[in-house]
Amino acid sequence: MSRARGLALAALAALACGGCGEVDEIVVAISTDLAVPKDFDVLQVQVFEGVNGKFSRAYRRLGASDAEARFPATIGVFSSDAGGEAITIKVAARIKEDTGGVRILREVVTTIPKDRVALLTVPLDFLCDGSGTRAGPDVENTCGEGKTCVAGTCVSNEIDSSSLPNYSRGDVYGSGDRKCFDVTVCFAEATPAEVDTAGCTIAGDGAAPRNVALETAGGDGICDGEEGDEDRRCLVALNADSDNGFQVVDDGRIQLPPAVCDQMAQKKIAAVLTAPATDCAQKTAGLPTCGSWLASGSEEP
Residue among 2, 56, 57 nearest 26 (CA): 2
Please give the helix or strand (H or E) that residue 184 lies within, else none: helix 183-186
The CA distance from 236 to 123, in Å, is 13
Whole-number pLDDT of residue 100: 66
Query: How far is Cα 265 from Cα 288, in angstroms, rounded to an integer?
Result: 28
H or E element: which one contains 117?
A: strand 117-124
Digitized pLDDT (tens) for each residue of the chain, 301 residues in all: 444 333 222 223 222 233 344 578 999 999 999 999 999 999 999 999 888 888 999 899 998 889 999 999 999 998 877 778 899 999 999 987 656 689 999 999 999 998 899 999 999 999 999 999 887 667 889 999 999 999 999 999 999 999 999 999 989 988 777 789 999 999 998 989 999 999 999 998 777 899 999 999 999 999 997 777 778 999 999 999 998 899 999 888 999 999 999 999 999 999 999 999 988 999 999 999 999 999 864 433 3
Share of the chain above pLDDT 90, in %: 64
Q: Given the DSSP bridges, would you call strands 25-32 and 117-124 parallel, antiparallel or unpaired?
A: parallel
Sorted by where each begins, the domain ranges of the chain are 2-173, 183-276
Q: Is the peptide bond before 137 cis (omega within 30 degrees of 0)?
A: no
The answer to whether residues 247 and 212 touch, using CB atoms and an 8 Å cutoff, is no
Condensed to tens digits (0 to 9), the pLDDT of residues 186-200 reads 999 898 999 999 999
CA dist 101 and 133 (Å) reads 7
**Which strand (E) or helix (H) includes residue 46?**
strand 42-49
Q: What are the distances in angstroms from CA 111 to CA 35, 138, 155, 161?
A: 31, 23, 18, 6
Q: Provide the pLDDT for residue 99.
A: 60
Report the distance separating Cα 58 and Cα 87, nearest Å: 19
- Whether residue 288 is preceded by a cis peptide bond, meaning omega within 30 degrees of 0, is no
Element (H, E) at 171: helix 170-173
pLDDT number for residue 300: 35
3-state SS class at 154: strand
> Edge to edge, what strands does the sheet with 25-32 contain?
2-4, 73-78, 25-32, 117-124
Separation CA 5–CA 76 (nearest Å): 6
- Classify the C-alpha dihedral 148-213-67-7 as positive or negative: positive
